[in-house]
Amino acid sequence: MNESYKKYIQSQEVVPPPEVWTAIESELDKKSKKRFPVGYFAVLSAILLSGGILFGVFYNWEAQPSTDVQPQSTNTSPTSIQNSKASSYDASQNPSTEQHSQNAYRMDEATLGNHQDLIQRKKKVSSANLQRFPNQSTQRDESIEYRNSNKASQQKNPSQNSALKDWVEISTSDKPKPSSAQEFDTTEEKPDYPIEEKPQNSLADADDSATPIDEMPASINKTQVEESLIAEKSLEVEESTLEKEEDLAENEIKIVKKKNNKEKKWEFSTYIAPSYTRSITDKHIWLIDLKEYKGSYENSTNYGMRMSYTISSKWTVRAGLGINNLRQKARDVYITSQTLDEANITQIDTYENIEIINSQDFYYPNINPNNVDLANVSQQIQYFSVPIDFSYQLYDSSLLSLGLNLGTSTHWLRKNSIALDYDNRKFDYGKATNLNELVFGTQLGFQTRFKINSRFSFMLEPEFLYYFNTFKDDSKVRPYTINLSAGLLYKFNF
């Protein structure tokens, strides 16, 4: 090329119209005031807010019913005291669990087993004691009867019974109260008088006749009453202690069970899903411009991950991130080619909703210039999806659980491509212009889990996903996909 011609060309000047600078200034102003992406932040905030509220509500929901765990017995001492008592007991029973029982929230399943054993042992001890000390048992029954009759007597004649009570208290006040060891060790203190006959009848008589204390029947001597009351008190203490300890153990079991349930609230799963795409109203879902051509749907694959949180024994909420692919092909579409002999650049903007974004050099050795040939036009759409589901558990066993999922999903358009399949080659062609960048959908699914072990499950979920606003225009096309997700689920320890 002649250098002088090059200089001539490069020095050429054409003054542009003034509106160009106005437009540039306007664009520069816009750039300097970078617009806050309100739309995206609104959607993101809504998701985070709803997630936060759900988490907060259900977390509190889980935390509040802790009152159910409080002892229901007459013991109203604080939990810490109860725990310390339990701790001392556990330490005597099984020292290895002492540390665990100091803090119920640190107990594990082993501790739970210990406490269940504890209750069983307590019951055995109690029944064994009763078998070993039948007299004590008899005494206990007698004492209860005596106490009941005494109460009846008090109701009839409060002053007399008050006097009797005072007398008994005075007579027993100078004796030391039995220790816990003594309470259990009553065999050596077995009374040597016929408790079965005399005291009961005498006391009953005393109640009925309302005899003054000075005139108490001789059959009831001081020692008899004293021993009876000691035995009664001893049994009451033992009974009370057993009840308290049983309550404590049961409460701790409840706490541990609750904690164990609470521990496994979070689950993580990954999935891959063959996807089957169709439209409710129109056979050709994406390539509306080509709807006169024969269309077919292509199988695609979706994949992603999910986190789920167990709200209650039946309900679970879960959110995820996924990639959804949708593919369709229009077959035997007419294409034209033009030869370089005529030096044409073919502008294929025949279709209203397809923007050509790629230029491509095609070599068609077998096609005649200016001829018409057939090719397939395939379209792929890929969404970045954020689904939020609520799951209801229908059935649960050690091997299998079944449930229903229902939720909504947000989809961001990530890939939008149209390609020509011609002569066993694929050429990127352009993109569809009638698709919304942000699409909302709803999904309904059936959840099947096969439990591999306490942590891992295999997951199989058929799901129906319906897209609300795929297209910008008033298209009647309403696409949906049916996914069959298969994946692995991991249950966290929290």
3-state secondary structure of 252: helix
Site membership for other proteins, residue 421 (CB under 8 A): no
Which of 45, 358 has the CB closer to other proteins? 358
In 3D, which of 346, 329, 132 has the Cα closest to residue 238? 132
Q: Helix 222-263 vs helix 134-156: angle between axes, to the nearest 10 degrees?
A: 100
Considering only 1, 38, 63, 181, the residue that binds other proteins (CB under 8 A) is 1
Rounded to a whole number of angstroms, the minimum distance from the CB of residue 342 to other proteins is 8
What's the Rg (C-alpha) of the chain? 43
Site membership for other proteins, residue 74 (CB under 8 A): no
Which of 273, 335 has the CB closer to other proteins? 335
Site membership for other proteins, residue 426 (CB under 8 A): no
Site membership for other proteins, residue 127 (CB under 8 A): no
> Which x/- pattern over 14-53 shows residues binding other proteins (rule: CB under 8 A)?
xxxx-xxx-xxx-xx--xx---------------------
Q: Helix 109-132 vs helix 222-263: angle between axes, to the nearest 10 degrees?
A: 160
Which of 127, 339 has the CB closer to other proteins? 339
Site membership for other proteins, residue 372 (CB under 8 A): no
Asked if residue 446 lies in contact with residue 401, where contact means CB atoms within 8 angstroms, the answer is no
Rounded to a whole number of angstroms, the minimum distance from the CB of residue 475 to other proteins is 25
Rounded to a whole number of angstroms, the minimum distance from the CB of residue 9 to other proteins is 6
The site that binds other proteins (CB under 8 A) totals a number of residues, namely 47
Rounded to a whole number of angstroms, the minimum distance from the CB of residue 266 to other proteins is 45
Considering only 41, 55, 276, 362, the residue that binds other proteins (CB under 8 A) is 362
Which of 296, 360 has the CB closer to other proteins? 360
What CA–CA distance (Å, rounded) separates 196 from 183? 21
Q: Name the segment binding other proteins (CB under 8 A); options: 103-111, 234-242, 319-327, 342-350.
A: 342-350
Tokens of residue 152, six digits = 């009846």
Neighbour tally for 454: CB within 10 Å: 10
Place of tokens 């024994």: 313
- Encode 463-493: b = buried (16+ Cβ within 10 Å), e = exposed: bebebeebbeeebebbbbbebbbebebebee
Which of 45, 339 has the CB closer to other proteins? 339
Rounded to a whole number of angstroms, the minimum distance from the CB of residue 19 to other proteins is 8
Rounded to a whole number of angstroms, the minimum distance from the CB of residue 462 to other proteins is 42
Q: Name the segment binding other proteins (CB under 8 A); options: 171-179, 339-347, 382-390, 468-476.
A: 339-347
Residues 309-338 close enough to bind other proteins by CB under 8 A: 337-338
Considering only 36, 105, 363, 395, the residue that binds other proteins (CB under 8 A) is 363
Enclosing H/E stretch for 101: helix 98-102
Considering only 36, 215, 343, 397, the residue that binds other proteins (CB under 8 A) is 343
HEC string of 293-309 equals: CEEEEECEEEEEEEEEE
Tokens of residue 281, six digits = 């109203």
Q: Name the segment binding other proteins (CB under 8 A); options: 7-15, 61-69, 239-247, 303-311.
A: 7-15
CA angle at residue 252 from 66 to 315, to 5 degrees? 50
HEC string of 189-228 equals: CCCCCCCCCHHHHHHHHHHHHCCCHHHCCCCCCHHHHHHH
Considering only 175, 179, 365, 494, the residue that binds other proteins (CB under 8 A) is 365
CA atoms lying within 13 Å on the CB side of residue 399: 0
Q: Which residues bind other proteins (CB under 8 A)?
A: 1-2, 5-6, 8-17, 19-21, 23-25, 27-28, 31-32, 337-340, 343-348, 355-365, 367, 369
